[in-house]
Homo-oligomer: A and B are copies of this chain.
Amino acid sequence: MSFHAHDHRDCIADGIAAAERYCAERRLHFTPVRRRVLEMLLGGHTSLRAYEILDRLRAEGLGSQPPVAYRALDFLVMHGFAHRVERLNAFIACSHADSRHAPAFLICRACNRVVEAESDPQAGELGRAARRAGFVIERTVREAEGLCPDCACAA
């Protein structure tokens, strides 16, 4: 996944299918709200904020109070279908439907697109600093803000 165009319907269908499989295997409930929120996140390569999601759920009669959205997002994040983008206080569908990983994000401040790269939690300066300090890493946040190729050219 990069900043290039592609047939986006596949992203949605594949993402939903993967989540269905995963939940079926583990006897998890892939409920209507959870499915719908994942569809929304898969629907674009920009992140969505919790209240944008809530507004859409409300419009569809799937829930009207903040906890509805946050619970669905918690579920999706916990099981790796979505990630939280700390820098934006927002959420985005996972691009690597496979296993657990430490996501890294490139965030375009002009067009708001976000692309995900994988990273090793123990790698880089964080890993080095942790080993030096005797620190046990459980989770990492790696996000870069800047300009995507399209917006950099336009600038």
Residues of A within 8 A of B (CB): 2-3, 86-87, 104, 106, 108-109, 115, 117-121, 123-126, 128-130, 132-149, 152
Most B C-beta atoms less than 10 A away, residue of A121, A124, A135, A147: A135
For A141, give its contact among B3, B139, B142, B147 (CB under 8 Å): B142
For A135, give its contact among B118, B136, B139, B149 (CB under 8 Å): B149
The number of times this chain is found in the oligomer is 2
A106 vs B138: C-alpha distance in the bound complex, in angstroms?
Answer: 10
Chain B residues contacting A141 (CB-CB under 8 Å) are 86-87, 141-145
Q: Are A143 and B145 in contact (CB under 8 A)?
A: no
Chain B residues contacting A129 (CB-CB under 8 Å) are 104, 106, 115, 117, 144
For A123, give its contact among B3, B124, B146 (CB under 8 Å): B124
Chain B residues contacting A140 (CB-CB under 8 Å) are 142-145
Q: Are B86 and A135 in contact (CB under 8 A)?
A: no
